[in-house]
Chain A
Amino acid sequence: MARLIRTEKEVEGNFEEVWLVVEEDPLQQWPAGPLDVVGRPAVRKDARERVRGEARYTADIQLPGMLHAAVLRSPHAHARVRSIDLAPALALPGVHGAVGPGEAPGLEREAGYVGAPVAAVAAETFGQARAALASIRIEWEQLEAVLDPEQAVERVAVHGEAERYERGDFDRAVAEADVVVDGTYRTQVVLHNSMETHQSVCEWVGDRLDVHTSTQYVWGVRNEVARELGLSPDRVRVACEYMGGGFGSKNSAGEYTFVAAVLARATGRPVRCALTRREENVAAGNRNATIQRLTAAARSDGTIVALGGEYVNALGWGGWSASTEGPLKMLYACDNVRTVRHTAKINTPPMKAFRAPGFVEGTFGLECLIDRLAAALDIDPLELRRKNYASSNDGTPFSSKNLRQCYERAEKHWERRHDVRARSDARWKRGVGMASQIWYGGGGPPSYAWTRVGSDGRLAVVTAMQDIGTGTRTAMAQIAAEEFGIALDRVEVMLGDTSRGPFATLSAGSSTTPSMGPAVRAAAADAKRQVLEIAAQRYDLEERVLDIRGGRIESADGNLSVAVEEFLDLLGNVQILGKGARGPNPTGMSVLTFGVHVVEAAVDVETGEVDVERVAAIHDVGRIVNPLGAESQVEGGVIQGIGHTLSEARLMDAETGRILTTTLDAYRMPTIADVPEIVCEFVDEPDQHLTSLGSKGLGEPPIVPIAAAIANAIRDATGADVHELPISREEMLRALREARERERISGIR
């Protein structure tokens, strides 16, 4: 039965009180461990078409008569369009339409950063459209730009009030502590740089709009486009069958979608609007920079008594302020905590969610500081973490937490440190570091799936979700196959199109599997129940003695055993239609994911080069649906995290706000040659309080602890404390000089 509840909904660590209609999910959880299909490695359902280059991405959509749009972007960090004349552009060969500020959502008169979209032109070719931009006559009124985040906070150029949090008595705890350490940590702006740039192709069919777009949320884009363009949502169809990466940057429609839709309406032709790679590096979102002033205090026995943090999120012109302080508040048992987070509004490109926003940055600062605290206390870093284990989230129980098992499994990797250190020589110093991981990833309602079984006995799952490259199709097919009782290759998952399934949530916040998995399971169970209902009548047996196992309908006494397709052959064109919905999250519980990384790193003390040699990543995300896909997620997160830690930085000219790194040559992402040995382990214990599946999400957790684990390995190898990401050679050499200086002074004493 449907039930109306008032609940807290979490997306990417953001909480919101909402009314929700939820359907109870009456299914019992499966037993722990590998089942027939779930919990066993499965190759991707869509691997073949992706590998063979047959999968059609938004970038591959070519419609008859399609025009190409190019976007005019602000050359100024802060300016207002005084006047604009599109006529010269419209007069050029091949040009069919143009829009200026206010004529499409996202094109605005006030430009808040270099690269802000202002106008757009549609032409027969992209080259013609881009050339036409140069002839648009535009007069700018330059406004004052604020580019320094600390200056912005001083001048109260901020997004919203500062976020303040306090529990216990922080000041007193620090005053009474035996050991206090503090430090300032800085993290840089990093870019998603998905291989497929942000883009949409829009086509009007009568008064309906078809949108092909590279997105993490087909349903969300549908609603956003309908709202902005004043259409009924069912007149907007959004499709994204294959998607070339998002990492949080493609959760909403974006100006490129509106530009394509408006120009398509104006020209009567389909229009593609695709960002170039250089635009992608400027105006497609980013993980914002942070400044973190942190304090940790402990008694000499290693009990952490106080944790404090003053944070600045250097957000840019737009976006939202992620909870950088989250790990500091939740990772350890600590009675006295005080945090404040300022959100600087500066004239730089807007932030967008990027794989565990806030927690990646906050974990770097916190977990580096915890290792310094361990050193000051002369306690083993693993021991210190265990000693301050949080058994509740400040009084709220966890739905499940197996971080202790993660630490246990980390021991054998941690033990290697003696051997690793011994492999150091005069120039290359080697060490081992660790960091813990906490993040959300519980998903939530609503989300729905339909199932369909025909006379061939095959099961189709239909839902308006999307597979952004994480293996969602496969995981959902595994869950449906397991529940229905048939082989994985007899299940198809149809997704990526708002016109062919019910609402499904966005693929972000590590929420797809925990949100959609239970809905798919419920839909498969509904279909199975109906099949057994019919079988009971056909064979004159009670429904409760029947089950489907291994693709056969069987009676408990073994007298009946018939292949599903053989039985359903009697249906003809009759179809069995099932439906399922995501049930509620457990009330009064914190649903979180946990893990620990142990990193082995080498530092060239002469040049400051850092080489990550081995990463052991141990994660607790409840039940693992597809161990093969899960391992790929972890490896991918670790590798992206190594990039963030060592080489990636979006550089900006501090005077003008121009982005200096606009190519994949300048913005240095990891290549295959940069990859260390990666060992993945999962605790794989279903969360008994979370849905009929017991699974949490895994997209984000693996990128959370890696930076701190690398920094702590560097500290173990050299005694140097890095305070900034990326750990460039300059930063590494600075930290080494500082460490030598510290040693010299303590030697004098």
Chain B
Amino acid sequence: MPELRLTVNGGEHVLDAPVGASLAEVLREQLGLTGTKIACNEGHCGACTVQLDGVPVLSCITLAHAVEGAVTTIEGLREHPLIEAFIRADAVQCGFCTPGQVVSAAALVAAAPEPSAEQIRHAMAGNICRCGTYPKIEEAILHWRD
């Protein structure tokens, strides 16, 4: 298996991974970073969202060997103020999509520290939540610094 060099949450990793391995698989199975969820495995739902140099990407359809840049997963955002904001707002039901929501939201507030409801709805529309926590997610992001 070819060598794979990855920077994840500030740490350097040298791994062996099959050519076709997705970033999500490598994070979950080789690095044990299971906070990144796989819900559809074909880029439709956003549960697997991670940041690549601060930009949200769908790790389930990203080839691990094609990654250039620093990967940030939910494990790297555990102290982000959005975590408390999500908890306070009850922006979590089953929670399976939630880490992906937080990762997308973190990229949004980095780019727009005071996002409008409109901006939130635009930036977060790629993260599906079947439980329907959307109103609470919007509230959490609107008040993320409170």
Asked if B87 contacts A48 (CB within 8 A), the reply is yes
Our pick among A62, A245, A277 for the contact of B131 (Cβ within 8 Å) is A245
Category for how many chain B residues contact A: 35 or more
Q: Once the chains are docked, how many angstroms separate the CA of A640 from the CA of B134?
A: 11
Q: A672: which of B39, B75, B95, B125 is its contact (CB, 8 Å)?
A: B125
Does B93 contact A469, Cβ atoms closer than 8 Å? yes
Chain A residue contacts of B87, Cβ below 8 A: 43-44, 47-48, 51
Contact of B44 among A54, A468, A664 (CB under 8 A): A664
CB distance from B112 to the nearest CB of A (A): 16
User: Whole-angstrom distance from the CB of B83 to the nearest CB of chain A?
Assistant: 5
Closest 5 CB pairs of A and B: A53-B35, A469-B94, A50-B95, A639-B132, A244-B96
Contact A468 B41 (CB under 8 A): no
| Minimum CB distance partner of A47 in chain B | B87
**CB neighbors of B among A379-416 (8 A):** none
- Additional pairs, 12, CB under 8 Å, beyond known A636-B133, A663-B44: A47-B87, A52-B78, A53-B34, A53-B36, A195-B45, A195-B47, A242-B95, A245-B94, A469-B93, A664-B42, A669-B128, A673-B122
Q: Are B96 and A57 closer than 8 Å at their CB atoms? A: yes
| B74: interface (CB < 8 Å) | yes
Q: Mark B65-101, 1 if CB is under 8 A from A, else 0.
A: 0000000011100100001001110111111111100
On A, residues with C-beta under 8 Å from B are 43-44, 46-48, 50-57, 59-60, 62, 192-197, 242-245, 247, 276-277, 468-471, 628-629, 631-632, 635-640, 663-665, 669-673, 675, 678
* Chain B window 22-52, contacts with chain A (Cβ cutoff 8 Å), 1 for yes, 0 for no: 0000001100101111111110110100000
Within the assembled complex, what's the spacing in Å between the Cα atoms of A61 and B111?
35
Task: Determine whether the beta carbon of B125 is less than 8 Å from that of A673.
Answer: yes
Residues of chain A within 8 A of B98, CB atoms compared:
50-51, 53
Does the CB pair B42–A663 fall under 8 Å? yes
Q: Which residues of B contact A44 (CB under 8 A)?
A: 87, 90, 92
* Cα A52 to Cα B102 with chains together (Å): 8
Interface centre among A50, A51, A470, A639 (most CB of B within 10 A): A51
Give the most central of A53, A193, A670: most B CB within 10 Å. A53
- The CA-CA distance from A276 to B129 in the complex, in Å, is 18
Q: Is A639 a contact partner of B134 (Cβ separation < 8 A)?
A: yes
Could you list 12 A-B pairs, sorted by A, with CB under 8 Å? A44-B90, A51-B83, A59-B34, A195-B96, A195-B97, A277-B42, A635-B135, A663-B44, A664-B42, A671-B126, A672-B124, A673-B121
Q: Which B residue sits closest to A49, measured CB to CB?
A: B95
What's the Cα separation between A678 and B132 when bound, in Å? Answer: 12
Please give the residue numbers on chain B whose beta carbons come within 8 Å of chain A beta carbons, in ascending order.
Answer: 28-29, 32, 34-42, 44-45, 47, 73-75, 78, 83, 86-88, 90-99, 102, 120-122, 124-138
- CB pair A672–B131 under 8 Å, yes or no, is no
Q: Tell me whether A56 and B34 are in contact in the complex, defined as CB-CB below 8 angstroms, given that A43-B88, A196-B94, A663-B44 are known contacts.
A: yes
Bound-complex Cα distance A450 to B50 (A): 41
Is A638 a contact partner of B132 (Cβ separation < 8 A)?
yes
Interchain pairs with CB closer than 8 A, number: 165
Cβ-closest chain A residue relative to B140: A51
Question: Across the interface, do B75 and A53 meet the contact criterion of CB distance under 8 Å?
Answer: yes
Taking the closest CB of chain A, its distance from the CB of B28, in whole angstroms, is 8
Complex formed: what's the CA distance from A470 to B133 in Å?
A: 11
- A50, B127: Cα distance in complex, Å: 16
A57: B residues at CB distance < 8 A = 37, 96
With A59-B37, A277-B42, A665-B44 already in contact, the answer to whether A51 and B102 are too (CB < 8 A) is: yes
Contacts of A245 in B (CB 8 A): 93-94, 96, 130-131
Q: Is the CB of A47 within 8 A of B86?
A: yes
Whether the pair A51, B92 counts as a contact (CB closer than 8 A) is yes
Nearest-CB distance from A16 to chain B (Å)?
29
B99 in contact with A52 (CB, 8 Å): yes
Determine whether the beta carbon of A636 is less than 8 Å from that of B74.
no
A51-B83, A245-B131, A469-B131 in contact; A628/B90 too (CB < 8 A)? yes
**Chain B nearest CB, measured from A402 CB (Å):** 25
Task: Please give the distance in Å from B85's CB to the nearest CB on chain A.
Answer: 9
Nearest chain A CB to B79 CB, angstrom units: 9
Least distance between A191 CB and chain B CB atoms (Å): 10
Q: Is the pair A52, B74 in contact by a Cβ cutoff of 8 Å? A: yes
The SS class assigned to the A binding surface is: loop
Contacts of B47 in A (CB 8 A): 195
A contact residues around B38 at 8 Å (CB): 59
CB distance A468 to B121 under 8 Å?
no
Chain A residues contacting B96 (CB-CB under 8 Å) are 57, 59, 194-196, 244-245, 469
Chain B residue at minimum C-beta to C-beta distance from A55: B95
Output the least CB separation between B141 and chain A (Å).
10
For A629, what are the chain B residues with a Cβ–Cβ distance below 8 Å? Answer: 90
Contacts of B92 in A (CB 8 A): 44, 47, 50-51
Q: With contacts A635-B136, A673-B121 known, is A194 near B94, CB below 8 A?
A: yes
Nearest chain A CB to B33's CB is how many angstroms away?
8
Greatest chain A CB density within 10 A among B40, B83, B86, B120 is at B40
Give the distance in Å from the alpha carbon of A264 to the alpha carbon of B28 in the complex: 22
Q: Would you give the shortest CB distance from B30 to chain A, in whole angstroms?
A: 11
Nearest residue (CB) in B for A193 is: B130
* Minimal beta-carbon separation of A619 from chain B (angstroms): 15
Contacts of A244 in B (CB 8 A): 37, 39, 94-96
Contacts A195-B37, A635-B135; is A671 near B95 (CB within 8 Å)? Answer: no
Bound-complex Cα distance A66 to B115 (A): 44
Considering the complex, give the chain A residue whose CB is closest to the CB of B78.
A52
Q: Is the CB of B93 within 8 A of A470?
A: yes
Which of B121, B126, B130 counts the most A-chain CB atoms under 10 A from its CB?
B130
A675-B134 CB under 8 A given contacts A43-B87, A53-B75, A277-B41: yes
> In the complex the two chains form, what is the Cα distance from A111 to B133 in whole Å?
38
Given contacts A51-B86, A195-B97, A244-B95, A636 and B131 within 8 Å (CB-CB): yes
Known: A197-B39, A277-B40. A671 touches B125 (CB 8 A): yes
A53→B132 contact, CB < 8 A: no
A48 B83 Cβ-Cβ under 8 A: yes
* Nearest neighbor of A678 in chain B, beta-carbon distance: B135
Give which listed residue, A43, A632, A638, contacts B133 with CB less than 8 A. A632
Residues on A with C-beta less than 8 A from B137 are 672
Given A47-B90, A244-B94, A635-B136: A196 touches B35 (CB 8 Å cut-off) = no
* Contact indicator A636/B132 (Cβ below 8 Å): yes
Supposing A43-B90, A277-B39, A469-B93 touch, asked if A637 and B132 sit within 8 A by C-beta, the answer is yes
Which B-chain residue is minimally distant from A244 (CB atoms)?
B96
Separation of A663 and B133 alpha carbons in the complex (Å) = 21
- Evaluate whether A60 and B34 lie within 8 angstroms (CB atoms) in the complex, with A44-B87, A663-B44, A669-B130 already known: yes
Q: CB distance B125 to A471 under 8 Å?
A: no
Chain A CB within 10 Å — which of B42, B87, B92, B129 has the most?
B92
* Residue in B closest to A46 when the chains form the complex, CB atoms: B95
Instruction: Determine if B132 and A195 form an interchain contact, defined as CB atoms under 8 angstroms apart.
Output: no
Residues of B within 8 A of A663 (CB): 40, 42, 44
Q: Nearest CB to that of A246 among chain B residues?
A: B94
Q: A195-B39, A672-B137 are in contact. Are A632 and B93 (CB under 8 A)?
A: yes
Closest CB of chain A to B98's CB: distance in Å?
5
Given A52-B35, A669-B128, A671-B128 in contact, is the A469-B42 Cβ separation under 8 Å? Answer: no
List B contacts of A48 (CB < 8 A).
Answer: 83, 87
Complex: how many Å from CA A44 to CA B41? 29
Complex: A678 Cα to B136 Cα, angstroms: 11
For A628, the closest partner residue in chain B by CB is: B90
Q: Are A52 and B134 in contact (CB under 8 A)?
A: no
Docked complex Cα distance between A507 and B88 (Å)? 25
Q: Are B99 and A53 in touch, CB under 8 angstroms? A: yes
A670 contacts B83, CB within 8 Å? Answer: no
Contact residues in B for A62 (Cβ distance below 8 Å): 29, 32, 34
* Closest Cβ–Cβ distance, residue B81 to chain A (whole Å): 12
User: In the bound complex, what is the Cα–Cα distance between A48 and B86 (angstroms)?
Assistant: 9
Residues of A within 8 A of B120 (CB): 672
CB proximity of A633 to chain B, nearest CB, Å = 8
